[in-house]
Amino acid sequence: MGGFDDYKPAMAMFGLQFSYATVALSTRAALLQGMNPRVFVVYRQAIATLVIAPIAYFSRRNSHGISLGLRSFSLIFLASLIGVTLSQNIYFEGLYLASSSIASAMGNLVPAVTFLMAFIVGLEKVNIGSWRSIAKVAGTVLCVGGAISMAILRGPKLLNTEFLPTKSVFSPGGENWLLGCLFLFGSSCCWSFWLILQVPLSANYPDHLSLSAWLCFVATLQSVTITLFLEPDPEAWILHSNLELACCFFAGIVGSGLSFFVQAWCISRRGPLFSAMFNPLATVIVTILAALFLHEEIYTGSLVGAFAVISGLYVVLWGKAKDLEEIKKETDSKEENDQKRIMEILIEDPSKKTFKSDLEEPLLSDKSTIVDESEINH
């Protein structure tokens, strides 16, 4: 059974990528039918809150509660606003204006953008003489360049083509396409900033399950406020088909609720790098299924850009993996040197041994007895 247990994290991540692909495809289909993207974000976060909050409440009762201070609430509010409310609203706008395959490919920018932001705030260091640092910088440039080529270059169609020659490699009249790509890029930046915020947020509020419930709840309130301001028409809140209703429940329960538990479990077993390695798989799944079922057009420029994004992602992850290996070697070397130093001291001068048991020493030494007697005589 030990061999099968080793494959469980990979199987879980593989299934999770299929769920992400299903969320992207079903959401785009519902948006094309007329569902409002901002209303969808509200329903998704509300459903996710209803799923996570009871579990967080009962698990919190069985553990020592962590108080929610002003600093923790401020960080939760900021993380919800940037990483959930803004990120998802502009993501689904970009998903509607561009395509599901482009949206999935843009998600692979997150590790590279996160590295760039972490370098700016001082959480990552770059050493020009190190291959690890060069790989991370080159991978970031490759990811961003691939994303730009996906937005600007289109070229001839590869799938769902009408067999008509394209006169220019640049997309003619593709204002909506370009705007959708910009929205998707902005969503990746917001999500990367959310990941950076997790460092102080986890330090101030380490209960991750309760933290997720708070994030979903605050994001629901923020999304409702934004939607009421931008969509004053009550008709926008009505779901007109079973597809829209099923999409909201699936995205809320599976895309937000279940994915949290799967991601947390896999990261606890194999680490965050293992989880990030499966991200490009969703891009491949979405691209194939979108071409087959949604009849999305796949262009040469988009394919080349997606390949560059995925290649850059793996280059960045390789550099991060080497960083982890170097840190582990330094830690092991330090522990080994400490053990050697202790052994050398004991071998050179056994009288310096300080690890005697308390039972080897008498409760009262002879010296202390003599002192006590002299004191009595005086």
**131-156 mean pLDDT:** 76
Distance CA 124, CA 192 (A): 14
What pLDDT sits at residue 346?
64
Q: What is the pLDDT of residue 218?
A: 93
Buried b (16+ CB within 10 A) or exposed e, 218-251: bbbbbbbebbeeebeeeeeeebeeeebeebbebb
Most confident of 33-42, 52-61, 306-315: 33-42
The answer to whether residue 180 scores a pLDDT higher than 70 is yes
Q: Of 161-170, 222-231, 344-353, which gets the smallest average pLDDT? A: 161-170
Block residue for tokens 């994001």: 219
For 369, the token pair is 């007895």
Residue 59 has pLDDT above 90, yes or no: no
> Among 212-226, 263-277, 295-309, 329-343, which stretch is predicted with the lowest mean pLDDT?
263-277
pLDDT tens-place string over residues 66-109: 667 888 889 889 989 998 899 999 999 888 888 887 888 787 78
Please write the tens of the pLDDT for every residue from 271-290.
665 666 677 777 778 877 88
Q: Tell whether the model's pLDDT for residue 364 goes beyond 60.
A: no
More confident residue, 79 or 347: 79
pLDDT at 222: 95
Per domain, the residue ranges of the chain are: 18-324, 335-377
Confidence of residue 158 (pLDDT cuts 50, 70, 90): low
> Identity (one letter) of the amino acid at 208?
H
Task: State the chain's mean pLDDT as an integer.
Answer: 76
> Is a pLDDT exceeding 70 seen at residue 369?
no
Asked if 26 contacts 215 with a C-beta cutoff of 8 angstroms, the reply is no
